[in-house]
Structure 1
Amino acid sequence: MAVVYGEVTIVVDEQDDLFYTRAALQAHRPAEGRITVQPTPGSSSPAALAHDMLYALGKRLAPGPNSPDVWLDSVNAAWLAAAAWGIATGVRHVVVPRAHLLTLRRIDQLLAWRESTGTQLTLLWQKAPRGLPPTLARVERRISGRPQFEALLAEPGPIPARPSFPPAIPAITGAAATSAGQSPAPQPHGTGAAAMRPGRRTNPCAGALATVQLVQAAPAIEIASEDTTSLATLAHPLIAGALSVLAFTRAGLGSLRFTRDLDITGDVSTIKLHGVGHRSCPLYAVPAWARPLLASARAHHRLTGRPGDSVFGPVLVAEARHLRAHAGRLSRLDLTRPAGMLVP
């Protein structure tokens, strides 16, 4: 029997039928926007369920007592990271087996996560329904039987599948724009032929979307696939995003100090960095492998509700040691030097 409350579905499997567990595990298809989160049995860590969520999203926390991911032991930090990754990668349906073993606190955490991401949530309650907590006992409709459960898993969720991050459309300027019947894009004072060279500065107050109309973005440095995989498995969105920028630009970490939300284009194809005093504000093309990482960093920033702040600010001050530690672990990328260069 399955009961639905809003976008939360509870599948009551009182007999603990192997069919439901097997179907839930087979439903784990991240590329289609659906993941299955398996709670770690018997874990007393307050952030354990958030860590399970991150694991299901393909993230791996660094092990050890002095791990650079120790700050994700905080419940709020861990769930915020999980929400950012869920939004950026287009997760639309989460299935959680053995939900009857979760504490009330962890059930509340799951429901709060669902509220922040808009994701459909299905919980397998594999015991008698009389143990349902009040927050899960209120239902609007009921469905039952194996076919209904299979149909539920096949349904699309309330948000789109994994974003495709389409390439940006190149700006048409100058003679090309005139021949195409368009008016050339207006250029601010001082943006002549020299400013059109890749990576050159333009108006320091302009965001990436405005700048890309005037300046050709510098191409990204090519990175080996095994290194992009290592970056993609980093658990914290800001660290994954920051180190990916260092990897494909070879800029210093201080260049990220002033990066704002508007310095990343909507399709995450271009990022603008800022030097001290805006003496150098280069524009870089974002490679396809890095777009989900930067999208997650931006989602993390937006979830904190501080739109005017730097996107990467939280990992450049008190938590910079964690970022540097991760840079040291990625020895093939040789990011230790750029990650250690914080410019005031």
Structure 2
Amino acid sequence: MVVDEQDALFYTRAALEAHCPGEGRITVHPTPGSSSPAALAHDVLYAMGKRLAPGPGSPDVWLDSVDAAWLAAAAWAGATGVRHMVVARAHLLTLQRIGRLLAWRTATGVQLTLLWQREARKLPPVLAQVERRLSGQGEFTALLAERGPIPARPFFPPRPPTPPKHAPGAAVVAGQSSVRLPRKARTASAAPDLPSRRCAGAMATAQLVPAAPALPVASRDAAGLHALTHPLIAGALSVLAFTRVTLGALRSTRDLDITGDVSVVKIHGTAHRACGLFEVPEWARPLLAGARAHHRLIPDPTGEGVFAPVMRGEARHLRAHAARLCRLDLTGIAGVLTP
């Protein structure tokens, strides 16, 4: 907590200049006068480089839900390696929004600094108990130079237990991908009718067969995918862009089908008769990490795949975003989604 009773320009300017997502430090300047319940979560997403689709009937209307917006903000924070978040003008926030910020901090482990630019005696009880309170310009400058509590770009290490090293693996999704693996990289599933939970994950399969190279995606198109706010939509469309697999295959992608460093993803074929390994290009790794982080932040009692919820509940939004990214030509792939 930084208390600036005089509302000195120094603190706001220093906070804005410290904004550097590439180093894991972001500064959020809350939108003044916004009555939207999810507005502060939108501001956090904006600080991380995410942009809401504009206009009426926006495919990002799901972000009007406070829980969904804060969940997305938590997923992206972990996937992109946010270590420290500074929030300016915190004295203008409602108690409810302050509570949401504190809950977000607990969920992510990110260091949170609030600029309280008002008298200290007006701090609400929940903030008056903050142990570390700064009030000098030198202390604030030193705080901004500190490294946060988590390393940059952690990509969420894989959950234990690790799949067996010699579990049956597979290579390419036969007849469904435009990418062809070399003959030596192809293998049929040893037990094609086993459910997906019995099919080996990406790490185990990568020890048996090489991954197919990713299809090229222009940097401009990759930037468009990076701006998407929904982690599952961004992750799903990025996989479709660099693999051109079908959505039916992508629907079954599980947590363990993405390696710990997000360098390889496994896509399942029909009835697991043939499954495919694909290299994940550098630009797409934070997007897949965001999708997996989102998956891990919500209960998953059904054991559905990482992308299954967005294909079912948010299918129209996925289609709309695919249509907006016309240069990637994903409309034919996304058009088969059920409403």
TM range (shorter): 0.7 to 0.9
Contact 2:169–2:204 at 8 Å: present in 1 too?
Answer: no
Residue 108 of structure 2 corresponds to which residue in structure 1?
117
Q: Which deviates further from its counterpart, 33-42 or 138-147?
A: 138-147
Residue 214 of structure 2 corresponds to which residue in structure 1?
220
Residues 88, 39 of structure 1: alpha-carbon distance in 2 compared, 3 angstrom cutoff: same
Q: Which deviates further from its counterpart, 74-83 or 196-205?
A: 196-205
Structure 1 unaligned runs (5+)?
1-9, 166-184
The number of residue pairs the alignment matches comes to: 314
Residue 181 of structure 1 corresponds to which residue in structure 2?
none
User: Which of 313, 323, 330 is the equivalent residue of 1:328?
Assistant: 323
Q: What is the Cα deviation at residue 189 of structure 1?
A: 9.7
Using structure 1 for the length normalisation, give the TM-score.
Answer: 0.86
Contact 2:266–2:278 at 8 Å: present in 1 too?
Answer: yes
Q: In structure 2, what is the Cα distance between the partners aligned to 1:100 and 1:298? A: 34
Residue 36 of structure 2 corresponds to which residue in structure 1?
45
Contact 2:25–2:82 at 8 Å: present in 1 too?
Answer: yes
Residue 264 of structure 1 corresponds to which residue in structure 2?
258
Give the AA of the match of 2:125: P
Give the AA of the match of 1:329: R
Q: What is the Cα deviation at residue 318 of structure 1?
A: 1.9
SS of 2:306's partner is: coil
Residue 300 of structure 2 corresponds to which residue in structure 1?
306
Residue 160 of structure 1 corresponds to which residue in structure 2?
151
Contact 1:200–1:282 at 8 Å: present in 2 too?
Answer: no
Instruction: Kindly report which structure 2 residues correspond to 1:164-313, keeping only aligned pairs within 5 A, or say none.
Output: 188=168, 197-198=184-185, 200-202=187-189, 205-306=199-300, 308-313=303-308
User: Which of 89, 101, 120 is the equivalent residue of 1:129?
Assistant: 120
Q: What is the Cα deviation at residue 76 of structure 1?
A: 0.5
Q: What is the Cα deviation at residue 142 of structure 1?
A: 3.9
Contact 2:78–2:155 at 8 Å: present in 1 too?
Answer: no
Structure 2 unaligned runs (5+)?
157-164, 172-180, 193-198
Q: In structure 2, what is the Cα distance between the partners aligned to 1:113 and 1:329? A: 30
Residue 102 of structure 1 corresponds to which residue in structure 2?
93
**Percent identity of equivalent pairs:** 71
Residues 215, 133 of structure 1: alpha-carbon distance in 2 compared, 3 angstrom cutoff: same
Q: What is the Cα deviation at residue 281 of structure 1?
A: 1.1
Residue 61 of structure 2 corresponds to which residue in structure 1?
70
Q: What is the Cα deviation at residue 338 of structure 1?
A: 0.9
Contact 1:47–1:75 at 8 Å: present in 2 too?
Answer: yes
Contact 1:31–1:162 at 8 Å: present in 2 too?
Answer: no
Give the AA of the match of 1:281: C
Q: What is the Cα deviation at residue 197 of structure 1?
A: 3.7
Q: In structure 2, what is the Cα distance between the partners aligned to 1:199 and 1:290? A: 24
Residues 22, 66 of structure 1: alpha-carbon distance in 2 compared, 3 angstrom cutoff: same
Alignment deviations for residues 79-114 of structure 1 (CA, whole Å, 9 cap, x no partner): 000000000000010000000000000000000110
Q: Which deviates further from its counterpart, 333-342 or 51-60?
A: 333-342
Q: What is the Cα deviation at residue 163 of structure 1?
A: 4.1
Q: In structure 2, what is the Cα distance between the partners aligned to 1:288 and 1:47? A: 31
The structure with the largest alpha-carbon Rg is 1
